[in-house]
Amino acid sequence: MKRKKIIGAVLVLGVVLSGVISIGIAAGQSGEQDKYVLKVPGGLAFADIKGYEGWQVVGPSLTDAQNVIRVIVANPTMIKAYRDGIPGNGKPFPDGSKIVKIEWTLKKLTSPPFAASRPDTVPGDLTEVEFIEKDSSKFSDTHGWGYAMFDYNAASGMFAPATSASKPPVNNDAKCGAACHTLAASKDYIFTDYPKR
């Protein structure tokens, strides 16, 4: 009788330990990535835009050539600058301004009330997050702006700093967008206007 109790207790303990170990292994394997530890060379980190998911929308961006849909959001510092008339008033954005471009593949909705002949286009899989940050002393050689781009792999659920294989290709440093943004020099190197609401 005593032996049966001991064997029973060992079996119960074994089942409990197996469950605990399985939970621990599963938790380790599901391992949500902490995107905020990622950095690009030259001083920009994903942590610089922590909370961007809740920032105000500046506007959408459709790029037919890349077949993506984007939304552009900005932190409160930059939104205030926009509302104060920057860059249209000729003044530069203040240091601390941050703008983020979130990019997805296109997804066509064809279920009612839509149809294949007249689908609605909405965001599909997330593909990348790009951002620009104004710090005149840190990025003096790129007109005060630092640039970062992080690719997102929907299959793995992981972000990684963009590379020369990314679309668009980047040198993976905080200067990666400076050359392109010289086209917007008259608007303090920011392409996106703040449209009427």
Which CATH number characterizes residue 79's domain?
A: 3.50.70.20
160 shares its domain with 145: yes
Burial class (CB within 10 angstroms; exposed 0-12, middle 13-18, buried 19+) of 143:
middle
41 shares its domain with 98: yes
Asked if residue 173 is part of any domain, the answer here is yes
For residues 167 and 197, the answer to whether their CB atoms sit within 8 Å is no
Planar angle of CA 190, 93, 181, nearest 5 degrees? 20
Mean pLDDT to the nearest integer, 33-39: 89
Asked if residue 154 is part of any domain, the answer here is yes
- pLDDT score, position 194: 93
52 shares its domain with 117: yes
41 shares its domain with 92: yes
Mean pLDDT to the nearest integer, 140-153: 91
Average pLDDT, the chain: 81
12 shares its domain with 45: no
pLDDT higher than 70, residue 73: yes
Residue 65: how many other CB atoms lie within 10 Å: 5
- pLDDT score, position 175: 67
DSSP state of 48: G
pLDDT higher than 70, residue 17: no
Lowest mean pLDDT, pick from 54-58, 68-72, 178-182: 178-182
Lowest mean pLDDT, pick from 21-25, 41-45, 84-88, 107-111: 21-25
Question: Distance between CA 72 and CA 147 in Å, rounded?
Answer: 14
63 shares its domain with 140: yes
- pLDDT score, position 114: 87
Residue of higher predicted confidence among 167 and 140: 140
Question: Helix or strand or coil: residue 72?
Answer: strand
Question: Distance between CA 181 and CA 190 in Å, rounded?
Answer: 7
77 shares its domain with 139: yes
pLDDT higher than 70, residue 57: yes
Question: Helix or strand or coil: residue 9?
Answer: helix
Closest among 137, 126, 166, 124 to 149, alpha carbons compared:
166
Q: Which domain holds residue 175?
A: 35-187
109 shares its domain with 151: yes
What total of structural domains would you count in the chain?
A: 2
Alpha helices per DSSP H over the chain: 2-30, 76-83, 178-181
Mean pLDDT to the nearest integer, 143-161: 92
